[in-house]
Structure 1
């Protein structure tokens, strides 16, 4: 059964990144009524930050040289490690079961929200290949960070996520759907860029619909 894992990370309930992610999910689900849909909102229901038990469990996995994800629970030998595994296990289970991972996230301070980073940190051991799974990232940015723009060099959102997915999970073809100039909706100094934001958002929503159908094949 094809499975879509949808992660939302915006602190805004009516955010642009949520709209784009939801559009992809609607398109995919309409084309794959037989599919399985998993949803996790890491802003509304935050994943805990990693702690000492997590680091100890990670060390135990590395020391054991274990690559068998189904046997990791056996390495959780202390109460702290067991508590860490109780958090990690369902997150890893969702990730491993997915054929497509959809991450909808805003740009906060040139990068990603802490809530999304916390989720990523929890699912980073053991190192594993998730190919041929597909990753799609729907983003919203307050300004303009596309190649050639004055602030392109400060885009640590796409750069980080692309490098993370490729470097840790071995998936090199992550697709990004970006909507820009979202702050034009609220910042008077950027009001003249409102049409740019509206056009960018419309293009992102259309791309999400198209890509959702394509990835459902």
Structure 2
């Protein structure tokens, strides 16, 4: 088993980092012989795609390439080979993973730029991945079904759409801590109990599910 763990929070002690670390720790304890790969997308940022990347993508689409192993032969110019040196280790890790763990806070109703840069780099070929995906998330407010801000959720919905549309992964487990801003914003102080309840539930679920417990 191979767990690929990515963190994207700008906060070194952010809730998404703490939650993803708890999951990873429990997973490693439950899989002592498993392989664990970690990337901090803030400490070591993935560069944005450039024109050479788009040229590689055009070749992949024009030639109908869907096998990642064939991609190494696609770059043909110096700029394309340089772009491929960025993509290759990221894509290799992703394709090789049995489980993908994403630490993802909500920023401005969506995902951090650090994660989006990684996503852009690995979005070819049109591949299908057979991997379990767990998202350890954190949000300043509450965006669940039936809440006033549900229509503004481009965090969970974006990740679900991307993973389903590009990689054919339709089952994604979200462990989310909500109302984090209730700890800071005096006008949200009345929602601290909601925050604490969501934190406790996510904290317990992270350890339980990483160790092989049934998803509730």
Common fold, TM-score beyond 0.5? yes
CA distance in 1, matches of 2:165, 2:98: 19
User: Could you tell me which residue of structure 1 aligns to residue 186 of structure 2?
Assistant: 188
Asked if the contact 2:52/2:80 (under 8 Å) is kept, the reply is: yes
Correspondence list, 1:148-159, <5 A: 148-159=146-157
**Taking structure 1 as the reference length, what is the TM-score of the superposition?**
0.96
Asked if the contact 1:130/1:169 (under 8 Å) is kept, the reply is: yes
| SS of 2:110 mapped into structure 1 | coil
Correspondence list, 1:103-142, <5 A: 103-131=102-130, 133-142=131-140
Task: Say whether residues 1:69 and 2:84 are aligned partners.
Answer: no
Alpha-carbon RMSD: 1.2
| Structure 2 segments unaligned to the other structure (5+ residues) | none
Structure 1 residues 134, 211: closer, same or farther in 2, change over 3 A? same
Instruction: Give deviations 1:128-157, integer Å, cap 9, x for gaps.
Output: 0002x1111110000001111111111110
CA distance in 2, matches of 1:129, 1:68: 10
| Structure 1 segments unaligned to the other structure (5+ residues) | none
Q: How many residue pairs are counted as aligned between the two chains?
A: 214
**Taking structure 2 as the reference length, what is the TM-score of the superposition?**
0.96
1:215, CA displacement in angstroms?
7.1
Correspondence list, 1:1-217, <5 A: 2-131=1-130, 133-214=131-212
Asked if the contact 1:105/1:112 (under 8 Å) is kept, the reply is: yes
Instruction: Give deviations 1:11-51, integer Å, cap 9, x for gaps.
Output: 00000001111111111111110100000111111100000
CA distance in 2, matches of 1:160, 1:214: 27
Asked if the contact 2:67/2:127 (under 8 Å) is kept, the reply is: no
- Over 2 Å off, 4+ runs: none
1:71, CA displacement in angstroms?
2.2
